């Protein structure tokens, strides 16, 4: 289930807010410049679906977002336990970092958690199929796909070569709960 949990950056044990209401999530995140929307993600995709099949299945909403937010390209990331190097892939995004352009993802299948560090708070956004999240350029954040990842996302880019992560050097991510079946709803 999609979920927003807000913590003081100094206390990962006691959330200030927790909600699974998509309208409240969107409104609360909008106050810090984060776009959260619910899209229709009911197109069934076989396990064998490649990136082109995923992009074709969601061509209309992809086109709308690209036009509205001036993204020039999109790609697909599909991660399962069978993905080669899944543990190192997870570790790559578990440290706080920024990007020099917006990071936008639409979850087609599965789930993952974004942790956004702004205004002396950490906003954990658990995204699932149907969730679109866009984090503005320069916003400190990290992503946890969980110890047993299973998700497909469409990523959007403003440059043809995509973006790269710039580590902030802050160790804050180590103080917050990991994403997973036992931690998605409990902190």
Domains detected in the chain: 3-175 (2.60.120.10)
Query: H-helix or E-strand containing 123?
Result: strand 121-128
User: What are the beta bridge partners of residue 166?
Assistant: 98
What is the SS3 assignment for 173? helix
Q: Rounded distance, CA 5 to CA 8, Å? A: 10
What Rg, from alpha-carbon coordinates, does the chain have? 16
Beta-strand relationship, 131-135 and 73-79: unpaired
Which pTM does this prediction carry?
Answer: 0.92
Q: Rounded distance, CA 174 to CA 45, Å? A: 35
Task: Tell me phi and psi for residue 140, to 5 degrees.
Answer: -65, 130
Q: Rounded distance, CA 82 to CA 12, Å? A: 31
Q: Rounded distance, CA 156 to CA 161, Å? A: 11
Task: Tell me phi and psi for residue 94, to 5 degrees.
Answer: -80, -10
User: Between the CA of residue 19 and those of 5, 25, 27, what are the distances in Å?
Assistant: 7, 7, 11
pLDDT in tens, 35-62: 999 998 888 888 888 999 999 999 999 9
pLDDT in tens, 75-124: 999 998 888 999 999 998 999 999 999 999 999 999 999 999 999 999 99
Would you place residue 170 in the very low, low, confident or very high pLDDT band (cuts 50, 70, 90)? very high
- Spatial contact of 74 and 67, defined as CB atoms under 8 Å apart: no
Lowest-confidence pick of 32-36, 90-94, 156-160? 156-160
pLDDT at position 47, please? 81
User: Between the CA of residue 105 and those of 8, 11, 120, what are the distances in Å?
Assistant: 25, 28, 24
Q: Rounded distance, CA 119 to CA 99, Å? A: 18
Would you place residue 185 in the very low, low, confident or very high pLDDT band (cuts 50, 70, 90)? very low
């Amino acid at each position: 289930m999609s979920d927003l949990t807000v913590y003081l950056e100094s206390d990962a044990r006691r959330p200030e807010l927790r909600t699974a209401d998509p309208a409240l999530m969107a409104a609360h995140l909008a106050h810090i410049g984060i776009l959260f929307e619910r899209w229709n993600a009911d197109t069934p995709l076989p396990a064998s679906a490649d990136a082109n099949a995923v992009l074709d299945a969601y061509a209309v909403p992809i086109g709308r977002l690209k036009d509205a937010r001036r993204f020039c390209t999109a790609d697909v990331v599909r991660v399962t336990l069978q993905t080669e190097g899944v543990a190192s892939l997870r570790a790559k995004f578990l440290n706080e970092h920024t990007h020099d352009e917006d990071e936008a993802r639409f979850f087609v299948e599965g789930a993952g958690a974004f942790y956004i560090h702004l205004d002396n708070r950490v906003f954990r956004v658990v995204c699932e199929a149907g969730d679109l999240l866009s984090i503005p350029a320069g916003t400190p954040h990290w992503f946890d796909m969980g110890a047993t990842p299973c998700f497909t996302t469409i990523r959007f880019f403003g440059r043809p070569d995509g973006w790269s992560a710039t580590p902030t050097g802050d160790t804050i991510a180590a103080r917050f709960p990991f994403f997973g079946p036992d931690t998605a709803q409990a902190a």
